[in-house]
Structure 1
Amino acid sequence: MMSGLAVLCLLLLQTGAHGFRLGGNSVTHQQITENAILNMTTQVCRALAMAEGKDFKFPPPPFTAESVALACETTKSSKTFHKTISLIREKNKMVDYYFFWSAKHHFDDETFTEGRDVIVKGLSSVKASIKQGKLAAGREQLGKILHTLQDFYSHSNWVEMKNEQPNSNLIRANTIIGNIDKNRPTCRNCDGDNCMNNILEDVLQDKILTTGYFSYFFPSKPKGKCSHGGKADQTSRIEPKGGINKDAFDSNHGYLHLQATKLAEAATTELLEDVRQAAGDKSFLRFLGITRGKPLCFVIDTTGSMMDDITEVKRVTSSLIDSKVVTEDEPSVYILVPFNDPEFGPLIRTTDPEAFKKSINSLTADGGGDAPEMSLSGLQLALTGAPSGSEIFLFTDAPAKDINLKSPVIALIEQTKSVVNFMITKVLGFRRRRQSDDNQQEEQQQYRMLRSDSQVYRDLADASGGQFIEVTKSELPKATSIITESSSASLVTLLQATRNAGNAENFPFTIDETVTSLTIYITGRSVSFTLISPSGVAQSSTNVSGPLIITSCSVGNFQTVQLNTQVGLWEIKMMSTNPYTLKVVGKSPIDFLFDFLDVEGLTGGYYVIDSRPKAGVNGSMQVTITGSTSAVVREASLVESSGSGVVNGSVEAQGGGEFLVHFDRIPSVDFVVLVKGQSSNTSNILFQRQSNTNIRASTLTVTAADINSILVPGTPLSIPFTVSTTGAGGTFSIQVTNDRGFSPAFPSSLSLETGGRASGTVTITAPLNTTSGSDVTLTIQAEAPGGTDTNYALKRLTVLRTVTDFIPPVCQLHSLQSNCSSNCSLLTWELSVLVTDGANGTGVDRVSITQGNGTLNTSLAGGDNGTMLVSYVSTCCSPDVELGVVDHVGNVGTCFYTVRAGTTNSTQAPNTQAVGSLSTKAVQSFLLCISILILGLITSEAVIN
């Protein structure tokens, strides 16, 4: 059997080469990042499988998100895994956009300490976010610091000094990065275009660490120092001329491009390993999006009249958990947000189904006062705390008191692409207090007013692609079947439409061979329809016993219809004089992700737009197919949500399941994304998938500067932002909200000229008692005069107390007993270790086995620093153990012990070795192996996927 070291070396060899800069056959930050994540994920899944006594089958090279998810036995999470990798890659890439001028973010200008501080502070933030379950914030921060880490190997002379393993001190504070002399000349002029020998020999001999200087505007640098190089670097035009960067094959030191990228990937792997050790294997996989089923998220009104609803939620939760907890549809995380008046929250998040049951069962209905409640505050908290793409169920019988949050909530829905279903019981507002029971006319007036109050819920359901379900309290148990149906991780949307004025209309939709459990959802009063199957058979909604419909259920304004699945082109003819929504769903592994793109001026290429796309102009979109390695996109369209208008795009395959789509025009009305393609080369039937989220374009652009995303409690953080418009000028209203209830300072309005822009600043302060690792989602919204147009910028901040503890816990050997002999299976050895974190440490948080097959037990040994007494027992067939020890801020160390069979059966054999160390010895060993193998064997050039 291969050792973990050999396996990880093999993993990195299987994926080929990577690189930094897009262009030619050079490779990019994104490729380095993705391949390191795929390799590390495979290794962690293998370790967990072995720990559980399961076989593990390596995916075929080159690794993909699909193949790794399959190897990890979580095929239904490949969409989440894809999404996570894309987010980390994009945040890595955007460092060049937001921090183009910042030397420390690229290790330019010999900013070694500053660059290392960026990495170390960001790494602490990542670990704190994972510990608090704030995974999105941690993923964003990870992408950013990986860019800086990777740039070290391209922008410094680490490779030229013949180093064959990463500089591990770049991820550790208060360590020596290298031999640095900022006053010493480091370079000579290049020989024309040949810069192979432009670093001075004595600099390389004395191991003097340097990086190139860079300036886009001014030809200025310290005398004798190296330049970054390239057309954009003005310093490379003054002596010493040329540069030393290895960003691409055509760079000044491009002949070392492959070595630099391999060391950058090994360093990325080392950092990921450090995060893994701090988080633990299961938490680390959740962080990367490797999970089983979808999140289960409830937002529940707990005011006085909600007793029946809460009872039903308890029943559904218990039934759902009991039916799924041992299946691949087991929810990846359970989230509960209660709300009342004026309180809402806290958000409860757990991966333990029994703990979630306990939280649900502890809910009681009480209080509330007047009818409106803080429903949108609760929903805002859920949208920021739940993973992207979640299905959220909100239960209430009252209108929203905090209707001012409607726009920020829609912004969150658009960003997270989560689906929100509203389970509304009774007539909104008829509870607790009816001030005029004797006055029927006033009551009817109140009814009409409260029906209009419900519109905010309808609008939010439509924006997210969810259902607005109105039932009586006695009908609620019948309506909650949608929760069970919607909780499948393989559920996909095939068709979705909203009609605000009822008209007769035909809707075609295609069912491919991968679709099962075909179901139709309809909301609306007095809606009828006729179905026509691919074979031409028709059946009306009044005939429930026909050949096409398996079951049909109506309750309140909600109707579900389950169909006999037939491959081919279907048609549904809707007939209604009332507003309605139509949604056709099924189960299939094939789905898609999409993001709108813009062109970046300085570095070229596309970047993902974090807000609404620009209305009325051309635009581009990236589509990624998930759940299949053979499916291809043939068509992509933008379809009006409430009408028949369609804008078709031109599709360009990018490889790896990614497609670039160009549109001549982005619609100015709400629309959804429709994708069609072939599931395989042999399929004659196009698959059809549609986005749940309604997209609305805008003539406004709101951009928040990404200067800093770490919020220190008690310290104000200022975030500059800009608002620009391609339309008419005037006074634009500014609204800034957040999910933590903090009170930011910001301008209430900005004045813009026609086609102009204006700037403002948001200042926010987290209270001193804010938990480290929690996050704050800030929404900055601009509204055009008269409310005719809006757009927003979302910024996720991580709250992080200043970290002063950078020293990992230490192990002290208490005892080691062994009577091992040649018959290892019948004998055991025992180990006792005291783990402490020092007088000024944050305390021992966790001890785990990183190598070994024995049994570990831990107990608190007293003291204020969380000292732990660790005992370990193993058969003599497993003579080695490595313990991972982690403190409360994520400092990771390893303690290694080994026994070898001696010639005596005494409790402490004379020849027994007992070695304990606190180091990153294991990490350094496999990284050394990686470097030696890769640098010795790589002979081919890399090709961009």
Structure 2
Amino acid sequence: MSFVCGILLILYSTGTVSCFPANDIVGEPRTKSHSYITLEAIYKTTATFLERLQIANDTKQSPSLKVSTFFGSDGDSLQKFLSTIAEINNRMNEVKRDKAFESQYNVNGERIIEAHLLIKRFRNNVKTLSGNKRNIKNKLLPIRANIANILYIIQEFYSNTNWIELHGSTIYKDFGQDIDELEVDIASTKENTCTNCEYVNGVERCENNIIGTKLTSGYKSGQDVSKPLKQGNDGKCSHGTRDDVSKNFTAVGGIYKGRSIQTEAPHSYLHEAAAAAAVKATEYYLIDQERGLHQLMGEETFRDVFSIRTREDIIKTSLTFVIDVTGSMGDDINGVKTATKNIVNEAKDSAFVPKNYILVTFSDPASLTTGRETSDPYTMLDWLDEIIVSGGDDCPEYAMTGLLKGIEMSNNNSKIYVLTDADAKDEHLRDEVTNGIRRKNLEPVFIITGQCSRKKRDVSQHSEEHTNFHREKRSSISVFEKIARETGGKVYEIKVAEVEIIVEKEIKETFPSSNVFVTWFELPMGPLTNTKEIPVDGYIKTLRIAVQPVRSKSDVALFSPNGTVVSFEEKHEQRELSRDMLTLLIKNPEEGEWRLANNGANAVSVNVTAQSALDFSSSILEISTGGESYQLSGNPITGNGYSVVVDIQNLNKNSTCSDIVLLDDNGNDVMEIPVDRIPSMWIARYTGHFVANNKSSVIQIRGTDDQGNPILRTRYMSIMPVSVQLHIVPLFGDLRLYEASNISFLLTNTGDVSVQFVVTISNGTADVSIQKGNLDGKEIYNGLVTITPNSLETQLLNFHVTLENYTGTIQSETRRYYVSDARNADCTVIEYPMMCPIESLNTGNCSSYKWTAFVEVSSGTIRESKIKVSTDEVVIDHHNLTDANFSVEISISGHCCTESFVISIIDKNSYFDQCRFVLSNQPLTVVRIPMTNIQTTEKEPTPTQGDDPPVLQMALGFGFLGIILLGLLIFIICIKMRSRQSVQEETANCQKLNTYEKVVK
């Protein structure tokens, strides 16, 4: 695969929606976005899945109600389900953003076969990743990423081809399935597919612009395949969005139907049908009984991938600790105690708690291993408090023996938390441990705070004797890593101070409390009349108020909505003092405004949580003037506009959200954002616009329930406006196995003050590149990192930007790159054509400027492969493939009316590779000569328009070009290198082709 070096136009803030929008557009209630389509399709898929499992049998229920009934009061599981849908949607956003210039991903430019083959490849990836059931939990993220690619391309098929025009909302079931050939008649490169759209009263009308009954798709300027130039009224179809210059060429107009507004989409009148078909096709691809991904992955993997699980399974599992109790473990165990107590206190009123609690302790010798079981969480806490650490003069301990005891006592499908600061003396038992974990489908979590080589601290206060220990290193933690790798477990190698954080995080993931964060505040000391209100809405089942620091239970007083002081003498009222924290618990609290008073001698901090099915998730979107929006992955840029979106789960139709509020660390309002509700039958979604100027740490939703009671929910979400913007240049195509590729990125200082930056680029395990420099105000740094994949696994690159004298990371982004094997199919450019000169870039004389080029294609099945060129304006010449052994050289010739094109090789197994050529760095100017006795598509002149069509069209062309050049950032990329060329040679080619190396600002 080889790519020309050319001008890449990167759109920052003037992006136009050119397919289904990534996210909902305020003001276009009838426009369905990828986000909406995917949400609806996965809800319907889940409902069908539940029906097949006979979990949801009420045929009268809507899909939404079936899903809601399945999750019931388990708000945490519903939140995880919705987060999974959001994750898939965000991955689809990444595809849309990074592959906007590749026509095959967007099913544009008649690249329908290539789009089909792409889906097949991602489908095969899902199959491969799903095959290893042991470590499936470690494969969920890449599986979802591949599914996102599939769903994006499938949905684009209905927005950008003429399938809807030909077949209505009936879906094309074969598209993207594991079949070699699509049994549908697709237009050839030589066939005209559209006629010029008409103008009625100055308005473009494209209802009848498609010619024939063959499948086609529109060409879009700026993508890697340009529209062939035609004369007269008939030609190839354009995409037809506002930023599509090709819509001015014959055939004028377009067939895009991704939006519901006629001025934005030529076939907007078919948007509803296209969106409905996209939903059905997505659902079909996921859940069809014979061909769906459900059948491909299997039932359990499908449930894990889409988080179709509730916490009801938890009541059958165990919470198991296997703890090293040698002398140096005192501080580690303290962290476990604190974390476990926090979780138990939060979850004790939840219906979703483990069936039993198991504590296994091990030491040296192995005979000291003990195991205890209880169904009472407080007994478990007592046992942790009673642990006495001692012994452990040498390094390794009997961790495997302890783990075998934990396996024996644990219920199936449980997690086992192993805590030690030493290696395993009984490593020979590893296979027995691994087999036991697999047999019971357990998940081990190893929390390692040492590897024997560290000097141990004094025995903790829980030991009877204070003895200094220094252990000698004998092995490594590799035994724990091997077990985790073979069973889908985890290994945390951490400091002692991090034990509490990790244990609490891990247990919360397994045994969430369904607690929601209501609010927090500081309450000064004062008289009973100096109180703070606490709103309780109809969704709250248990109210929990934590107050700190206090000396006695009488330091605070709680008033119910009727004004009476709560006595805490009733069964549903609880009050517990632990050290300096007082916890007040009210079950089934009365709706209305409760109040809290501070009777103590000091000001106190108050944290209010609740057991409630109503909660929300939030995200920040970058918005563009054209209506497009993308998930913000880093920090916002100071002064730029953004959208905040909240999805509120279990909000009924008579309840409302009125405002989204950003708050600082002290709970003060930073900004109150009015919101609009996005129409949806699947989730209560609200969005509002704000300008990023001030730092905030917390986001809060405010509204009312169906009885008029205030609703308040809070989440931590840091918003830190900065002046440095990171942009990673999209990479055309895939990385190539064992071949070097350049990844370009831009760092822009949007402010006026000079900054010193550090960009650290890592692959998840090690730093790949660290680049430093100074950026003056408004200056741009053009960076480059070279990577060479040595496996076919998806490559991750993490970009982190820090500034001197600034704490923390100011920008962070991750990119995923797929890797292809050149031995299957390969296209290499041997000789690039010269870039077309500016004087050739108009339709009047572009055909007079000729060029030639050469490529070489190769494949292990070259004799059964196919060679394709994206346009009949480009001529290729080569020997018969049936006479080739492995590779064939192809000569290419054409003229400057072709702005860009692609040569493809497709082998017998449907692997394909491409050589892309970009021949001009700006669109052609349209010079149209009026014709008599032929129906034209010119707009009727208005008093402000001239009468000379050629002059008019040239003015429009250059005017539009000026807008593009002002709104875009132009820079050079050399995206791919071949094994034939070094990085230096590839860069030299770029410079030789008269491209521009300087960044235009």
- What's the TM-score bracket when you normalise by the shorter of the two chains? 0.5 to 0.7
Secondary structure of 2:768 counterpart: coil
Q: Is the 8 A contact 2:647 2:686 kept in 1?
A: yes
- Aligned equivalents of 2:724 and 2:547: distance in 1? 34
**Residues 688-745 of structure 1, C-alpha deviations (whole Å, 9 max, x = no match):** 1110455544343334456489888766665443333444222202234454x2x342
- Aligned equivalents of 2:343 and 2:161: distance in 1? 55
- Normalising to structure 1: TM-score of the pair? 0.59
Q: CA deviation at 1:276?
A: 1.1
- Aligned equivalents of 2:581 and 2:445: distance in 1? 15
Structure 1 residue identity aligned to 2:40: N
2:296 to 257, 278, 293: 278
Q: Which residue number corresponds to residue 628 of structure 1?
A: 651
Q: Which residue number corresponds to residue 70 of structure 1?
A: 69
**Residues 454-484 of structure 1, C-alpha deviations (whole Å, 9 max, x = no match):** x9999x99xxxxx879xxxxxxxxx999968
Matched, 1:490 2:545: no
- Aligned equivalents of 1:239 and 1:735: distance in 2? 48
- Aligned equivalents of 1:791 and 1:526: distance in 2? 41
Q: Which residue number corresponds to residue 338 of structure 1?
A: none
**Relative to structure 1, is the Cα distance of residues 729 and 67 closer, same or farther in structure 2, using a 3 angstrom cutoff?**
farther
**Relative to structure 1, is the Cα distance of residues 31 and 674 closer, same or farther in structure 2, using a 3 angstrom cutoff?**
closer
- Aligned equivalents of 1:608 and 1:758: distance in 2? 24
Q: Which residue number corresponds to residue 278 of structure 2?
A: 264
Structure 1 residue identity aligned to 2:117: D
Q: CA deviation at 1:127?
A: 4.4
Matched, 1:100 2:96: no
What are the equivalent positions in structure 2 for 1:88-127 lying under 5 Å apart? Answer: 88-127=88-127
- Aligned equivalents of 2:72 and 2:801: distance in 1? 45
- Normalising to structure 2: TM-score of the pair? 0.56
Q: Is the 8 A contact 2:339 2:501 kept in 1?
A: no
Q: CA deviation at 1:569?
A: 3.0
Q: Which residue number corresponds to residue 57 of structure 2?
A: 56
Q: CA deviation at 1:303?
A: 10
Q: CA deviation at 1:281?
A: 2.8
**Relative to structure 1, is the Cα distance of residues 748 and 319 closer, same or farther in structure 2, using a 3 angstrom cutoff?**
closer
Q: Is the 8 A contact 1:647 1:666 kept in 2?
A: no
2:190 to 170, 183, 189: 183
Q: Which residue number corresponds to residue 10 of structure 1?
A: none
What are the equivalent positions in structure 2 for 1:608-687 lying under 5 Å apart? Answer: 608-615=631-638, 619-630=642-653, 631-642=655-666, 644-656=668-680, 657-663=684-690, 666-668=693-695, 670-680=696-706, 683-687=707-711
Structure 1 residue identity aligned to 2:274: A
Q: CA deviation at 1:671?
A: 1.5
Secondary structure of 1:659 counterpart: strand
Q: Which residue number corresponds to residue 306 of structure 2?
A: 288
Matched, 1:241 2:243: no
**Residues 537-557 of structure 1, C-alpha deviations (whole Å, 9 max, x = no match):** 568xxx9989996131425x7
Structure 2 residue identity aligned to 1:608: Q
- Aligned equivalents of 2:557 and 2:496: distance in 1? 29
**Relative to structure 1, is the Cα distance of residues 554 and 89 closer, same or farther in structure 2, using a 3 angstrom cutoff?**
same
**Relative to structure 1, is the Cα distance of residues 784 and 80 closer, same or farther in structure 2, using a 3 angstrom cutoff?**
same
Secondary structure of 1:276 counterpart: helix
- Aligned equivalents of 1:431 and 1:745: distance in 2? 46
Q: CA deviation at 1:563?
A: 4.2
Secondary structure of 2:85 counterpart: helix
**Which moves more between the two structures, 174-183 or 793-802?**
793-802
Structure 1 residue identity aligned to 2:158: Y
Q: CA deviation at 1:242?
A: 2.6
Q: Is the 8 A contact 1:74 1:290 kept in 2?
A: no
**Relative to structure 1, is the Cα distance of residues 766 and 156 closer, same or farther in structure 2, using a 3 angstrom cutoff?**
same
Q: CA deviation at 1:277?
A: 1.0
- Aligned equivalents of 1:98 and 1:620: distance in 2? 21
Q: CA deviation at 1:578?
A: 10
- Aligned equivalents of 1:212 and 1:690: distance in 2? 46
- Aligned equivalents of 1:457 and 1:629: distance in 2? 46
**Which moves more between the two structures, 712-721 or 590-599?**
712-721
2:540 to 503, 512, 515: 515
**Residues 749-791 of structure 1, C-alpha deviations (whole Å, 9 max, x = no match):** 24322244324344556664x9x6xx77654221122125632
Q: Which residue number corresponds to residue 551 of structure 1?
A: 575
- Aligned equivalents of 2:740 and 2:98: distance in 1? 21
Q: CA deviation at 1:282?
A: 3.6
For these two proteins, the number of residue pairs brought into alignment is 673
Q: Is the 8 A contact 1:779 1:792 kept in 2?
A: no
Q: Is the 8 A contact 1:530 1:574 kept in 2?
A: yes
Q: Is the 8 A contact 1:507 1:571 kept in 2?
A: yes
Q: Is the 8 A contact 2:37 2:275 kept in 1?
A: yes
What are the equivalent positions in structure 2 for 1:701-720 lying under 5 Å apart? Answer: 701-705=725-729, 707=731, 719-720=743-744
Secondary structure of 1:32 counterpart: helix
Q: CA deviation at 1:592?
A: 0.8
Q: Is the 8 A contact 2:319 2:416 kept in 1?
A: no
Structure 2 residue identity aligned to 1:604: G
Secondary structure of 1:31 counterpart: helix
- Aligned equivalents of 1:525 and 1:777: distance in 2? 49
Structure 1 residue identity aligned to 2:275: T
Q: Which residue number corresponds to residue 411 of structure 2?
A: 354
Secondary structure of 1:152 counterpart: helix
Secondary structure of 1:229 counterpart: coil
**Relative to structure 1, is the Cα distance of residues 707 and 696 closer, same or farther in structure 2, using a 3 angstrom cutoff?**
same
- Aligned equivalents of 1:485 and 1:782: distance in 2? 30
1:33 to 30, 38, 41: 38
Q: CA deviation at 1:233?
A: 2.0
Structure 2 residue identity aligned to 1:242: G
- Aligned equivalents of 2:321 and 2:755: distance in 1? 39
Q: Percent identity?
A: 21
Structure 1 alignment gaps of length 5 or more: 1-18, 335-340, 369-391, 403-423, 436-454, 462-466, 470-478, 806-839, 841-888, 890-945
Structure 2 residue identity aligned to 1:285: R
- Aligned equivalents of 2:466 and 2:821: distance in 1? 49
- Aligned equivalents of 1:398 and 1:509: distance in 2? 45
**Residues 545-599 of structure 1, C-alpha deviations (whole Å, 9 max, x = no match):** 89996131425x7664434644333445679999997532210111111112221
- Aligned equivalents of 1:762 and 1:79: distance in 2? 38
Structure 2 residue identity aligned to 1:611: G
**Relative to structure 1, is the Cα distance of residues 651 and 169 closer, same or farther in structure 2, using a 3 angstrom cutoff?**
closer
Structure 1 residue identity aligned to 2:539: T
**Relative to structure 1, is the Cα distance of residues 209 and 358 closer, same or farther in structure 2, using a 3 angstrom cutoff?**
closer
Structure 2 residue identity aligned to 1:156: T
Q: CA deviation at 1:46?
A: 0.3
Q: Is the 8 A contact 1:625 1:632 kept in 2?
A: no
Structure 2 residue identity aligned to 1:264: A
- Aligned equivalents of 1:154 and 1:485: distance in 2? 39
Q: CA deviation at 1:262?
A: 3.7
- Aligned equivalents of 1:142 and 1:114: distance in 2? 17
- Aligned equivalents of 1:685 and 1:648: distance in 2? 20
**Relative to structure 1, is the Cα distance of residues 139 and 480 closer, same or farther in structure 2, using a 3 angstrom cutoff?**
closer
Q: CA deviation at 1:211?
A: 1.8
**Residues 295-322 of structure 1, C-alpha deviations (whole Å, 9 max, x = no match):** 999999979633896799699999999x
Q: Is the 8 A contact 1:292 1:328 kept in 2?
A: no
**Residues 482-531 of structure 1, C-alpha deviations (whole Å, 9 max, x = no match):** 968993452111124699x9999976432223223322346779799524
**Relative to structure 1, is the Cα distance of residues 792 and 298 closer, same or farther in structure 2, using a 3 angstrom cutoff?**
farther
Q: Which residue number corresponds to residue 794 of structure 1?
A: 813
Q: Is the 8 A contact 2:320 2:416 kept in 1?
A: no
- Aligned equivalents of 1:486 and 1:494: distance in 2? 22
Structure 2 alignment gaps of length 5 or more: 1-18, 358-394, 400-406, 425-443, 471-493, 825-860, 862-908, 910-1001
Q: Is the 8 A contact 1:498 1:580 kept in 2?
A: yes
**Relative to structure 1, is the Cα distance of residues 546 and 58 closer, same or farther in structure 2, using a 3 angstrom cutoff?**
closer
Structure 2 residue identity aligned to 1:509: I
Matched, 1:760 2:771: no
What are the equivalent positions in structure 2 for 1:844-859 lying under 5 Å apart? Answer: none
**Relative to structure 1, is the Cα distance of residues 786 and 507 closer, same or farther in structure 2, using a 3 angstrom cutoff?**
farther
**Relative to structure 1, is the Cα distance of residues 718 and 537 closer, same or farther in structure 2, using a 3 angstrom cutoff?**
farther
What are the equivalent positions in structure 2 for 1:82-161 lying under 5 Å apart? Answer: 82-129=82-129, 132-133=136-137, 134-161=139-166
**Relative to structure 1, is the Cα distance of residues 708 and 581 closer, same or farther in structure 2, using a 3 angstrom cutoff?**
farther
Matched, 1:226 2:249: no
Q: Which residue number corresponds to residue 599 of structure 1?
A: 623
Secondary structure of 1:105 counterpart: coil
